[in-house]
Amino acid sequence: MANGPLQIKAISGHAGPVPGRNTSNDYDVCKLVDVTTCIGCKACEVACLEWNGYPFRETVFDNSYQTMPDTAWNYYNLIRFNEFSDDNGNVSLLMRKDQCMHCADPGCLRACPADGAIVQYSNGIVDFQQENCIGCQYCVTGCPFDIPKFNPTTKKVYKCTLCSDRVGAALEPACIKACPTGCLHFGSKADMKDLAETRAAQVREHTSHKDAGVYDPLGVSGTHVIYVLHDINHPERYGGLPKDPHVPWMVRLWKGPLKWIGDFAMTAGIIGVAIHYIRFGPKEVEPDSSKPGGSK
Amino acid sequence: MSAAAVPHTPHAGEIERYTFAERIMHWFTAATYLYCLLTGLAFYSPHLYWLAYVVGGPPTSRFWHPILGLGFLIATLWMHAIWGRDMQITSVDKRWLANTSAYITNDEEHTPLSERFNGGQKIYYWLMVYGALFLLFSGVFLWFPEYIPRQAAWVRHVMILVHEVAALATIGGFIIHVYMSVFMVPYSMAAITTGYVTRAWAWTHHRLWYLRVSGRQG
């Protein structure tokens, strides 16, 4: 767990250097969600609301165990249920705690135009700073997991903070604290990755889930929330977890080459007309030569 | 004793180039475009984010940018109602456009004569009309992204690209437009503001129009 104030290593919409870049020896933190031991009790959801001070949301019954269709601006994490039947007709109830994945390469931060509205701490937590948010929702466009949620009243976007306020004070996130089965773990990325791989091997060895594995997608340079899944080849069965998430290439194009080309073209245009003026000067008015004496 | 009565006749000997409605329309278009330009540039580049503070702060800019963008589209449609017919590209313009280099290098001798608007102005006009349409169409999707379902996320991606490319195209035209009117063609700012130009100005820059409206030809 991080000790002391969190260092910032990346800032959205920011020109110039970032204070905490390459200055911290803080290690990467990670939340491990072992879906094979999740019982869907939703204690993590309640703990999250308790810590963040939000009221419980109205539930929506849809003939399954699903409490409500989606996370919300004031509901950061939600257990997604899926009654999955395989080719042999065996039914399994898949459950996954869905929340911000805290990508090492966060698409939200790349897409955000507002200076300081999204920061990435050196321990890997990606955090929204609502006081700097302008409500444009480009973060929603940049996110491969569809996590940021807009509050139409405040015109700000919210998501899981990985309890940065707790982690900064050397406490584990609220959801971890509340989990009764030990399916949630928190620690350094290296430790959690180790634990996850050990658990996945155990599942492969002792159960019929021969494809159990660890979900830590490389398309976003890894995440600071990782899963142990029964079947690593089909993450989409767990409430639409993308198989190969990456920052949309359109967002990369827009925030990369197009920006350089646009900046260059605008600057060149202004310099160009200035040079033109110096070279050719203004168009002088000439008198009407068709009239005797001309006109004024 | 009274002062000699000098009758005050504004714009005596000058000719009207833009009516009052045209001038209001032009400056309404300019104001809405300029606001969208400044706020848009702030959202475009972190190095220009300070522009948002100049026009009321970042959240305020996010709020007004689409609304004034809608105003810009309305202004453009109004402009089209007034100038659309004048802006049709004719054989006169094609000749002018074929000799653009003469115009650019101030080579009056080889610059073809122009009507009320020259070929360059017409190209700029159509650039802005289509730019406004593309900007508003794509802008609506960026205005209310919360109504686009996750399955259609590609729509947001495409619209961002359309919005940016259309904006950059209009900025290119806008740089030239402002340069031409403020620096290159003296008295054109006065023309679009007061509405009047001298006969010599009209003769120099828009001779075919001048000859037509002064009843000397056509």
Contacts of A253 (CB under 8 A, 6+ apart): B161
Query: Are A182 and A53 part of one and the same domain?
Result: yes
Contact B104 A137 (CB under 8 A): no
Task: Identify the pLDDT of residue A197.
Answer: 97
Task: Choose from B67, B174, B203 for mutation: most chain A CBs within 10 A.
Answer: B203
Residue A151 in tokens:
């509050």
Whether A275 is in a domain gets the answer yes
**Residue A295 placed within a domain:** no
Q: Residues 149 to 178 of A: which have CB under 8 A from any B CB?
A: 150, 152, 155
Over chain B, what is the mean pLDDT? 93
Residues 6+ apart with CB under 8 A from A185: A31, A32, A34, A176, A192, A195
Q: What is the pLDDT of residues B144-175, one digit of tens each?
A: 988 888 888 899 999 999 999 999 999 999 99
Does residue A143 sit in the same domain as residue A276? no
Query: Is A238 inside a domain boundary?
Result: yes
Q: How many domains does chain A have?
A: 2
Instruction: Tell me the nearest-neighbour CA distance from B35 into chain A, angstroms.
Output: 17
H or E segment to which residue A284 belongs? none
Nearest Cα residue to B131 out of B185, B172, B81, B167: B167
- A30 found inside a domain: yes
Q: What parts of chain A have a pLDDT lower than 50?
A: 1-3, 293-296
Q: Are residues A22 and A159 in the same domain?
A: yes
Same domain, yes or no: A229 and A273: no
Q: Are residues A221 and A260 in the same domain?
A: no
List the single residue in B13, B45, B186 with the smallest CB-CB distance to A282: B186
Task: Count Cβ neighbours within 10 Å for each residue of B62-75 and write b for 16 or more, e otherwise.
Answer: bbbbbebbebbbeb
Answer yes or no: is A211 within a domain. yes
- CB of B149 within 8 Å of a chain A CB? The answer is no
Percent of chain B with pLDDT over 70: 96
A109 shares a domain with A236: yes
Cross-chain Cβ contact B186/A15 below 8 Å: no
A174 with A71, same domain?
yes
Domain encompassing residue A260: 248-282
Q: How many CB atoms lie within 10 A of CB A259?
A: 16
Q: Do residues A54 and A30 make contact, with C-beta atoms less than 8 angstroms apart?
A: no
- The predicted pLDDT at position B79 comes to 96
Reported as a single tens digit per residue, the pLDDT across A213-235 is: 999 999 999 999 999 999 999 99
Of B63, B157, B203, the CB nearest to A141: B157
pLDDT of residue A296: 45
Q: Pick the closest to residue A279 from B107, B197, B94, B29 (CA basis).
A: B107
- Do A136 and A259 sit in the same domain of this protein? no
Q: Residue B51 corresponds to which amino acid?
A: L
Residue A289 located in a structural domain: no
Q: What is the CATH number of the domain that holds A43?
A: 3.30.70.20
Q: For residue A290, give how far its alpha carbon lies from the nearest alpha carbon of chain B (Å).
A: 10
Residues of B in contact with A294 (CB under 8 A): 200
Query: Which domains are seen in chain B, by residue range?
Result: 18-83 (no CATH), 85-218 (1.20.950.20)
- The pLDDT value recorded for residue B215 is 79
Using CB atoms, pick whichever of A138, A248, A270 lies closest to residue B175.
Answer: A270
Do A145 and A274 belong together in one domain?
Answer: no
Residue-wise pLDDT for B182-204, tens only, equals 999 999 999 999 999 999 999 99
Judge whether A291 lies within some domain: no
* Residue of chain B whose alpha carbon sits nearest to that of A155: B59
Chain B partners within 8 Å of A253 (Cβ): 161
pLDDT in tens, B49-93: 999 999 999 999 999 999 999 999 999 999 999 999 999 999 999
Clarify whether residues A42 and A63 are in a common domain: yes
pLDDT tens sequence across B98-128: 999 999 999 988 999 999 999 999 999 999 9
Question: How many percent of chain B have pLDDT more than 90?
Answer: 85
Same domain, yes or no: A115 and A223: yes
Nearest of B156, B177, B165, B179 to residue B33 by alpha carbon:
B177
Cβ–Cβ contact A271 with B under 8 A: no
Is residue A1 situated within a structural domain?
no
Q: Shortest Cα distance from B33 to chain A (angstroms)?
A: 16
Comparing CA positions, the residue from A28, A29, A8 lying closest to residue A115 is A8
Domain CATH number, residue A259: 1.20.5
In this complex, do A288 and B199 lie within 8 Å of one another by their Cβ atoms? Answer: yes
| Chain A residue with Cα closest to B185 | A283
Does this complex have an ipTM over 0.85?
A: yes
Question: For B157, which of A114, A250, A286 is closest by C-beta distance?
Answer: A250
Same domain, yes or no: A118 and A69: yes
Residue ranges in chain A assigned as alpha helix (H) = 43-52, 107-111, 138-142, 164-167, 174-178, 189-206, 249-255, 257-280
Residues of B in contact with A133 (CB under 8 A): 59
* Residue A136 Cα distances to A150, A227, A239, B48, B190, angstroms: 9, 31, 27, 17, 39
- Subunit contact A273:B105, Cβ cutoff 8 A: no
Tell whether A136 lies on the interface with B, counting CB pairs under 8 A. yes
What distance in Å separates the CA atoms of residue B138 and residue A219, rounded to the nearest whole number?
Answer: 28
Calpha distance B109→A290 (Å, rounded): 15
